[in-house]
Amino acid sequence: MSVREVLRRIGLATFVSLVLGFFSLPLLWLAFTPFDSDPRISASLPDFTLHNFQVLMDNPYALASLRNSIILAAGAAALVVTCAALAAYALSRVRIPGRDVLLYVLLLLSSIITGTAAMVPIFLLAFNLNLIDSHLGVILVLTGGLLPAAIFVLKDFTDATPTSYEEAARVFGATPLQTLRHVVVPVIRPGLATVMVWTVAQVWGDFLMPFLLLRDPDKAPASVIMYTFYTEGGQPDLALISTFSLLYSLPVVGMYLFVSRRYGFRFHGGIKR
């Protein structure tokens, strides 16, 4: 092996290690710091303790906020999956002039709805509808923002499903609703699972909308509550933040693992045929 070759390999290994280190350090921090008796901002092997979790349990908002997150995520996921499935099925099976344009425009606008640009109008709208400080308000706004992308992904799934399945059900006497329940939903189930997981992850991580629309800290989800974990001295309370981060991320990771084992992720979306 020439010197050049050796140097090249060393360079490559160093580069890969640096990149890996860059991405794994936060994860190591997340894994170790919650169990460290002296939590700091750097990752180190912990001086093992479970005391930090005690601190978390004593915090009046921490666990309630996780429950709030679950309510928001589950509500939005149920609403998004149901509405997107019905809309995608209709858009895929009924010929409407300009339906592709419609879908693209919706997709474009959806990033505005939940984005910073529409913050003030959304607040005013929610205020006038008496939806401030209500989980329903947040769920509705987030659902509105996520629906276009969900419809787009699900429409690809329904487009890829041959119509003869539905025709077979019709010939044997199934009503449209029976056709949907017995045939269409089971066939596009991987798509529904994909959209559900994606919605939950989006809502779970969303900060802006719940921060804007929920005034009462008892109703705030985890993403907002985490923002309040400071000591009296104004320093970040690392014991709380680290344990809470761990609890906050575990459900999403668990859900990904469960759904991907069960359905295998088949991302059909995105590419237009």
Structure token digits, residue 206:
């969303």
Among 42, 116, 164, 235, binds other proteins (CB under 8 A): 164
Residue 115 in the binding site for other proteins (CB under 8 A):
no
To other proteins, the closest distance from the beta carbon of 162 in angstroms equals: 6
To other proteins, the closest distance from the beta carbon of 262 in angstroms equals: 13
Size of the site for other proteins (CB under 8 A): 17
**Residue (of 152, 249, 226, 145) closest to 194 by Cα position:** 152
Residue 165 in the binding site for other proteins (CB under 8 A):
yes
Residue 167 in the binding site for other proteins (CB under 8 A):
yes
- Choose the binding region for other proteins from 39-47, 61-69, 86-94, 158-166 (rule: CB under 8 A): 158-166
- Choose the binding region for other proteins from 6-14, 165-173, 216-224, 264-272 (rule: CB under 8 A): 165-173
For residue 18, what is the enclosing H or E element?
helix 3-32
Residue 208 and residue 119 in contact, taking contact as beta carbons nearer than 8 Å: yes
Residue 169 in the binding site for other proteins (CB under 8 A):
yes
N-term to C-term CA, the chain: 49
Site string for other proteins, 178-197 (x = CB under 8 A): x---xx--xx-x--------
Residue 172 in the binding site for other proteins (CB under 8 A):
yes
Residues in CB range of 131: below 8 A, 6 or more apart: 137, 140, 213
Say which DSSP state 182 is in: I
**Residue (of 142, 127, 132) closest to 72 by Cα position:** 142
For residue 247, what is the enclosing H or E element?
helix 238-263
- Residues within the interface to other proteins (CB under 8 A): 162, 164-165, 167-174, 178, 182-183, 186-187, 189
